[in-house]
Amino acid sequence: MARWIGLALVLAVATTAAAAPETVWQTGRPDRSYMEFAVAKNHAAWETRFGAKDPVFEVGKSDPGKDWPFIHPGPSDPWAGGREHPLPIRFGLEAEPRGVFTLRIGFADVHARGTPTYVVRVGGRPGGVLAPGAGSLAAVAEPNVRLVAAKRADAGAGLVLRLWEVGGRATTAHVRLPQMKPTKATACNLVEEPQGAPEIEDGAISVPVRGRGLATVLVE
């Protein structure tokens, strides 16, 4: 995992395909600047403020200017211990989650010698697999396939999912959407042009993914 600088996060939800997204919470501004974050431009201050204990950001209580560091080091940064630095974000919802939640991540800069790997864990669940159940957007049965993006379709209704095979072997991923009952799935390229029709059986969508490759599927 490489270092990333100036990380802005926005969590939004759309209750229907036609509904305008509503912001659930936001940390920072997507303006390619990190000056609103804690200890901006001061690496030495990061070690003093965050080196001993990774911060926990509580939406509605924590202050990005004091509690969200401008730089997020990783294992390739020996000055920060050469390890992962989890950054939990805690937030509450007034009601049971419904609709499609989208987490938008913006970087002001990244490590010059390596593209960062960003891992998101929901509810403390490890890895890239979300277990089925209330609140899960998608569950991928195969542990070597990660869900790396989910968004509304550019044209018309539907949800676009992007999968990434990380183990180096061709795999047919089986994807379930606990919050939806998919009736149609369309394999697409990166600009969402139709490429095929994956099978749906017992609610699971079968998506072929090349080794180390990406696969995009439109679900309706």
The DSSP bridge pattern shows strands 89-90 and 57-58 to be parallel
Every domain of the chain and the residues it spans: 4-110, 139-219
**Is the separation of the CB atoms in 47 and 58 below 8 Å?**
no
**Is the separation of the CB atoms in 6 and 34 below 8 Å?**
yes
CA–CA dist 78, 73 (Å, integer): 9
Which tens digit of pLDDT belongs to each residue from 125-155? 544 443 444 445 778 888 888 888 888 888 8
What percentage of residues in the chain have a pLDDT greater than 70? 80
Residue count (the chain): 220
Q: Which of 23-27, 95-99, 122-126, 192-196 has the lowest mean pLDDT?
A: 122-126
Write down the pTM of the prediction.
0.52
| Position 185 confidence tier, pLDDT thresholds 50, 70, 90 | very high
Output phi, psi for 35, to 5 deg: -70, -15
- Phi/psi region, residue 137 (left: phi>0; alpha: psi -120 to 50; beta: rest), is alpha
pLDDT at residue 218, rounded to an integer:
92
Instruction: Look up residue 156 and give its DSSP letter.
Output: S
Average pLDDT rounded to a whole number, residues 72-78: 79
Q: Is the pLDDT of residue 12 over 80?
A: no
pLDDT at residue 129, rounded to an integer:
41
Q: Which residue has the higher pLDDT, 134 or 31?
A: 31
pLDDT at residue 147, rounded to an integer:
84
- Which tokens in the block code for residue 64? 């990005």
Which tens digit of pLDDT belongs to each residue from 88-134? 888 888 777 777 777 887 777 776 555 566 667 776 554 444 344 44
Which tens digit of pLDDT belongs to each residue from 163-182? 999 889 999 999 988 777 88
pLDDT at residue 197, rounded to an integer:
93
Average pLDDT rounded to a whole number, residues 183-194: 90
CA–CA dist 99, 136 (Å, integer): 10
pLDDT at residue 156, rounded to an integer:
73
| 66: enclosing H helix or E strand | helix 64-67
Q: Yes or no: is domain 139-219 CATH 1.10.3720.10?
A: no
